[in-house]
Amino acid sequence: MEQSNQFLGTEPTGKLMKKYAIPCIISLLVGALYNIVDQIFIANASYLGSYGNAANTVVFPLTVVALAIAVMIGDGCCAFVSICLGKGEKENATKSVGSAVVMIIASSLLLTAVYLLFQSQIIAMFGGTVNEETFYYAKEYFFYISLGIPFYMFGQALNPVIRADGNPKFAMASTLAGAAANIVLDPVFIFLCKWGMMGAAVATVIGQIITALLAVWYIRHMKTIRPSAKDWKLSRKICGRTLLLGITSFLSQISLVAAMAAINNMLRRYGAADEIFGQPQYAQIPMAVVGIVMKFFQIVISIVVGMAAGCIPIVGYNIGAGCKTRVKDLFTKLLIAEATVGAAAFILVEVFPRQLISIFGAANESSYYTNFAVKAFRIYLCMIIMACINKACFIFLQAMGKAAQSTALSMIREVVFGVGFALLLPLFWGLDGVLFSMPVSDLLTFLVAAVLIVRTYKELTG
């Protein structure tokens, strides 16, 4: 029997936020653990150490490219489906799901082919030539990760679609199952089998396959949106609307890749000019450390994005139904929650940086590694509260169907400020300039976001 999503327009917004946001947060946190867990085990393997850490940092943005495409299709479909259900246009909702599945399969296969054909050039583009050891490990890890790209993208794209169907718990469980397999297999392959970077990658891919298979099962048992045979084809109009709604998710991820490429290359360039890190045995440390700091940031942002993305079906439904008061109430609750998460993260990075870096194998490294890491945590993430609010604003505007405003704000943060300051500030302050590029970007973006937040409140009040 088909179920209705009418409760999205009647239940208290706080209750709905918990119902949808918590599973989404857990899903994203677990998804983030794929790469983070790899890095923790790699860092604590004495035969890999900071070289393996640096290699992981090089490959990480390349997995984000895959994620960017996946979330563009998945989040766009989720927003479109939710708006359609709010308007009572169920036929368009089912067509969107069918089109999304076709798009994700085609795009994932194409990206895998590109990665396999140009892996050496791509690794070099993201700073992998800092030294021979880092390049060797990055190439090994990247090859096996590339083989899992279709499974990774399929699972990530279907996750928000499953939430839009009204089953956030299954979305969470499917991601959790894959990550659990990765956590179990990582130490087996890295420490017992001594497979090194290959072992970390294979463990990750196995987990991604499990998540993808569970997503396939769910598609065949959807409860609210049930695509029929005629829906499993591309509709130009619906694909266009889906991609437009998901473009903010894509740009926020893909522009992050551009920023990471700029940062990695600046670390390589200005690290070589540093008195300590210019020595061959220490050359990989800045890249390894900043990669670790960004992984911690990814954990925080997973919580932030999870809360905001969990609200997408609720916001979309109520916008479609014309319930502005409920959307305004939800926006207020979301901003308060995001600022609270940011404040907690701020305390951790400013007060406990040594404890954080110890998780990533600091005991096996030189004092230069630890000292630079402490400095990086405190500077790079000092504006993390504003970063959390900015990210919430991006996604909420997207959920309201304001793709242009959301996209513009995201592009300002990640490309204009993120890439621009990563390239500019090191010219004056060297490695310190790379670290300051993040807080400066977040502060300036917050000033723009504040204007949009005020305008959104006025619109929802009228």
Mind listing the pLDDT tens digit for each residue in 402-417? 878 887 888 888 889 9
pLDDT of residue 256: 72
Q: Tell me how far apart the alpha carbons of residues 219 and 390 are, in angstroms, rounded to a whole number.
A: 33
Could you identify the residue written with the tokens 């699972």? Answer: 155
- Distance, in Å, from the CA atom of 312 to the CA atom of 420, rounded to the nearest integer, reads 31
Which amino acid is residue 180, in one-letter code?
Answer: A
CB 23, CB 312: distance < 8 Å = no
- Quick: pLDDT tens for 157-201: 998 888 878 788 888 889 889 988 999 999 999 999 999 999 999
**Spatial separation of the C-alpha atoms in residues 253 and 67, rounded to whole Å:** 7
Dist CA 310 CA 324 (whole Å): 18
Between CA 38 and CA 194 the distance in angstroms is 14
Task: Say if residue 310's pLDDT is above 60.
Answer: yes
254, 65 in Cβ contact below 8 A? yes
How far CA 264 is from CA of 34, 81, 130, 229, 364, in Å, comes to 21, 38, 9, 46, 23
pLDDT for 295 beyond 70: yes
Look up tokens 């040594």; give the residue.
354
Question: What is the pLDDT, as a whole number, of residue 398?
Answer: 78
Is residue 5 scored above 70 in pLDDT?
no
Residue 292 makes CB contacts below 8 A (sequence gap 6+) with: 39, 43, 53, 57, 357, 360, 373
The encoded tokens of residue 60 equal 């990480």
Q: How far is CA 170 from CA 101, 167, 173, 401, 444, in A?
A: 18, 6, 5, 26, 38
Computed from CA positions of residues 427, 429, 432, 438, in that sequence, does the dihedral angle turn out positive or negative? negative
Separation between Cα atoms, residue 82 and residue 37, nearest integer Å: 33
* 234-256 tens-digit pLDDT: 778 888 888 888 877 787 677 77
Domain ranges of the chain: 14-461
| pLDDT band per the 50, 70, 90 thresholds, residue 390 | very high
What distance in Å separates the CA atoms of residue 408 and residue 92, rounded to the nearest whole number? 27
Task: Name which residue leads in pLDDT, 60 or 202.
Answer: 202
Q: Nearest 5 degrees, angle CA 321-CA 323-CA 329?
A: 140
C-alpha Rg value of the chain to the nearest Å:
21
CA distance 361 to 441: 30
Q: How many CB atoms lie within 10 A of CB 297?
A: 18
Give the pLDDT of residue 238. 86
pLDDT exceeds cutoff 50 at 304: yes
Say if CB 108 and CB 149 are below 8 A apart: yes
**pLDDT tens-place string over residues 352-365:** 999 998 887 666 67
pLDDT at 439: 96
Q: How far apart are CA 430 and CA 436, in angstroms?
A: 10
pTM of the model: 0.77
Statement: residue 2 has pLDDT above 60: no
Nearest to 37 by CA among 141, 139, 186: 186
Q: What is the mean pLDDT of residues 363-377?
A: 87
Position 1 scores a pLDDT of 37
pLDDT, position 31: 67
Tell me what pLDDT residue 39 has: 80
Find the range with the poorest average confidence among 44-53, 60-69, 268-277, 379-388. Answer: 44-53
pLDDT of residue 362: 64
Amino acid at 264: N
pLDDT for 114-157, tens place per residue? 999 999 999 998 888 888 888 999 999 999 999 999 999 999 99
249 and 405 Cβ atoms separated by less than 8 Å: no
**Does 385 have pLDDT greater than 80?**
yes
Q: Which three-class secondary structure string do you get for the chain?
A: CCCCCHHHHCCCHHHHHHHHHHHHHHHHHHHHHHHHHHHHHHHCCCCCHHHHHHHHHHHHHHHHHHHHHHHHHHHHHHHHHHHHHHHCCHHHHHHHHHHHHHHHHHHHHHHHHHHHHCHHHHHHHCCCCCCHHHHHHHHHHHHHHHHCHHHHHHHHHHHHHHHHCCCHHHHHHHHHHHHHHHHHHHHHHHHHCCCHHHHHHHHHHHHHHHHHHHHHHHHCCCCCCCCCHHHCCCCHHHHHHHHHHHHHHHHHHHHHHHHHHHHHHHHHHHHHCCCCCCCHHHCCHHHHHHHHHHHHHHHHHHHHHHHHHHCHHHHHHHHHHCCHHHHHHHHHHHHHHHHHHHHHHHHHHHHCHHHHHHCCCHHHCCHHHHHHHHHHHHHHCCCHHHHHHHHHHHHHHHHCCCHHHHHHHHHHHHHHHHHHHHHHCHHHHHHHHHHHHHHHHHHHHHHHHHHHHHHHHHHHHC
pLDDT tens, residue by residue, 48-98: 878 888 888 889 888 889 988 998 999 888 888 878 877 877 788 888 888
